[in-house]
Amino acid sequence: MENAKTVNQEHSLSRRNLLTLEDFSKEEIYSLLELADYLKQQRKLGKQIQPLKGKVLGLIFEKASTRTRVSFESGMYQLGGTALFLSKNDLQMGRGEPISDTAKVLSGYLDGIMIRTFSHSTVEELAKHATIPIINGLTDLYHPCQVLADLQTIREKKGTLQNLKVAYIGDGNNMAHSLLIGCAKMGMNISIATPVGYEPNQMITDKAKEIGKQQEIILTNNPYEAVKDADIIYTDVWASMGQEEEQWKREKDFQLFQVDEKLLKSGKSTTLFMHCLPAHRGEEVAANVIDGPHSIVYQQAENRLHVQKALLTAILG
């Protein structure tokens, strides 16, 4: 099987960073998805694929996580390597050490770093000074690993990515930004519905339009307009980590942007529902939607493991 050969060969992504999905070509993303499918299949068959024996991945967390931590730790273990969890309290970064010093020192100990943090500039600074691959596990600007898992899931369910339509409802946040770039890269159409004042970053929207010149990219303040003919309806929490003090205001501003059964039925009869989790039932999504037959959120969450294993194999193997 061609994918099996890929596991044991030098990959075009070897020793590359993943800061945003702009870093990878369409062909490279497809290669990752193929490898993720293969690794997932082998795990289901009970077979061990361990190309990362002796490799060590550092996991820097300035933002807490369930899926990111467990999927990266489990993934490294399953690939034969080791992961080190490093909170901000475990590193001198938390006590004022320059990021450049941390990057240079950790480059001598580790084979790669995954970082989940607030400011995207922190990830960029780490990548600038490190001599090992840096993976963006989430910043306030981008969430590329999540969208790789989303692409794998959509392809599994729909059989293709080309010309499908994703409708994202909610805050124009890091998920909206990475979906914009990911859909544009992969030949998918995307519509984003946000309340007034919560639109995605204009610079990122412009980048997506430049990348996806042939694709439909719509920004609207009307969720029903966004979901028309959508193959996927996607949402995220209204207040992300670090925005807790805005919770009450956001609940008020987003009250017409809940993905409920009425909105879901305004898409196609075959429309699927996705959420990057954690979800707040009764806020951004109704319980009967996320727990209903159109929801694929748990397959989506599981695929974080498989696509990240593919990413680690490609850049560290």
Sketch out the chain's domains with CATH numbers.
Answer: 26-142+304-316 (3.40.50.1370), 144-300 (3.40.50.1370)
pLDDT tens, 242-262? 778 888 999 999 999 999 999
Residue 298 has pLDDT above 80, yes or no: yes
pLDDT at 1: 40
What mean pLDDT value characterizes the chain? 95
Residue 263 has pLDDT above 90, yes or no: yes
* Token code pair at residue 238: 């209204």
State yes or no: is 276 an active-site residue.
Answer: yes
Mean per-residue pLDDT, 260-272: 97
What is d(CA 222, CA 240) in angstroms, rounded to the nearest whole number?
Answer: 22
Residue 206 has pLDDT above 80, yes or no: yes
Q: Which of 146, 152, 215, 300 is catalytic?
A: 146
Mean per-residue pLDDT, 226-252: 92
Residue 275 has pLDDT above 80, yes or no: yes
170 conformational bin, left if phi > 0, alpha if psi -120 to 50, beta if neither: left
Select from 274, 286, 280, 224 the least CA-distant residue to 247.
Answer: 280
- In this prediction, residue 6 has a pLDDT band, given cuts at 50, 70 and 90, of low
State yes or no: is 95 an active-site residue.
Answer: no
Q: Which residue's structure tokens are 């109704």? A: 286
pLDDT at 249: 95
Q: Say what the pTM is.
A: 0.95
pLDDT at 193: 98
Residue type, 277: L
State yes or no: is 116 an active-site residue.
Answer: yes
Mean per-residue pLDDT, 263-270: 97
pLDDT at 241: 75
Q: Which of 140, 150, 171, 236 is catalytic?
A: 236
119 Cβ contact list (under 8 Å, min separation 6) = 139, 140
Residue 2 has pLDDT above 50, yes or no: no
Mean per-residue pLDDT, 27-34: 97
pLDDT at 7: 61
Secondary structure of residue 110 in the 3-state scheme: coil
What count of other Cβ atoms lies within 10 Å of the Cβ of residue 304?
25
pLDDT at 10: 57
Q: Report whether 59 contacts 86 (CB < 8 A).
A: yes
- CA-CA distances (angstroms) from residue 206 to 178, 202, 214, 266, 277? 13, 6, 14, 28, 27
For 51-67, the DSSP string reads TTTT-EEEEEESS--SH
Binding annotation: 65-68, 92, 116, 143-146, 174, 236, 240-241, 276-277, 304
Q: Which of 37, 42, 78, 116 is catalytic?
A: 116
pLDDT at 299: 98
Q: Where do the H-state alpha helices sit in the chain?
A: 2-8, 26-44, 67-78, 99-107, 120-129, 144-158, 174-185, 202-211, 223-227, 247-253, 261-265, 287-290, 297-316
Sheet bearing 56-61, strands edge to edge: 82-87, 56-61, 112-116, 134-138
Q: Report whether 187 contacts 164 (CB < 8 A).
A: no
pLDDT tens, 149-196? 999 999 999 999 999 999 999 999 999 999 999 999 999 999 999 999
